[in-house]
Structure 1
Amino acid sequence: MYAIIQLRGEVNVRKDLRQTIKRLGLYRKNHLVLQLESPNIKRMLKKIESFITFGEIDEKTLTRLLEKRARLAGNKKVDLDFLKKNKIDSFTVLAKKVFEEKKVLKELGIKKVFRLNAPRKGFERGGIKKLFSTGGAAGYRSSDINALIQRMM
């Protein structure tokens, strides 16, 4: 499962790139969405790679993300009482279910966008315009995305 974070805004961006960003469910900087791996998603990510960063999220980070940043309609926080009403024991169980299939969040009414802060101590030295492979922050970063998410929560 990919965690995708938007790094840059959409002002003065080509229309096709802007539409691709919207189709992924990203609307603002520092927002995160979860997507299952598929050939279509990979092509979309490759197309807008200079505006986002993405990688494989692990279960521990996903659990913490759901605890701290998951929201319901009306900006209500997801808490244990809500999970108990929906017959889910804890956030770890919810994270395991999300890993198995992404539709769990939609069925529970949890928003698919997680609003994060800018990362503590900033992005990598090269800035958000360079790719991660060349010392920047944009593009594919495999499991290093987990450290970035921890700094942004």
Structure 2
Amino acid sequence: MRLRRKYTAILMKKSTENMKLLQKVRNFVAYGEIDKETLYDLLAKRAQVIGKVKINPEKIINQLDKKSLSEMSIKDFFRLHSPRGGINTKRHFPKNKGVWGDNGKKINDLVRRML
């Protein structure tokens, strides 16, 4: 996964292999499904280009099904700030009150606070 620092985001395709990997690290990371608006903001504000290519978030979103970010000359990870307002609690188990683990659509709120 190459998450070497805190507050780093990556994009992963939804597959059985990736879901098994996320289940193994769910006590240490927050994950969920990102919507197009949040993805657009993430690419526009935090994407880093390899080389001298300009970023067009709409074009990148349309090509994500066919190509990976590295094939489009964009780094695979996004450095984020700590969330505005802080993190209530990190633990997600057993009462589902924290941010670690599967957040589903709530991950969009967390990512927007970290941009």
1:96-129 deviation digits (Å, cap 9, x = unpaired)? 222x2351x1122210010000000012x3x113
Higher helix share: 1
1:82 paired with 2:54, answer yes
User: Normalising by structure 2, what TM-score?
Assistant: 0.89
Q: For residues 63 and 132 of structure 1, what CA distance do their matches in structure 2 show? A: 33
Alpha-carbon RMSD: 2.0
Matched, 1:146 2:108: yes
Amino acid of the residue matched to residue 18 of structure 2? I
Greater C-alpha radius of gyration = 1
> Where does the alignment leave 5 or more consecutive residues of structure 1 unmatched?
1-23, 84-89
Q: What's the TM-score once normalised by structure 1's chain length? A: 0.68
1:1-153 alignment, distance < 5 Å: 24-73=1-50, 82-83=54-55, 90-98=56-64, 100-103=65-68, 105-123=69-87, 125=88, 127-131=89-93, 134-153=96-115
Report 1 or 2 for greater relative contact order, CA contacts < 8 Å, sequence distance ≥ 6.
2
In the TM superposition, what whole-angstrom CA distance separates every residue of 1:56-89 from its partner, at most 9, and x where no partner exists? Answer: 011111111000000024xx8x8xx724xxxxxx
Q: 1:95 to 1:137 in 2, by over 3 A?
A: same
1:49 CA drift (Å): 0.4
Count, aligned residues: 115
Q: Displacement, 1:133?
A: 5.4
Structure 2: where are the runs of 5+ without partners? none
How far did residue 50 of structure 1 move?
Answer: 0.5
Higher strand share: 1
Identity %: 32
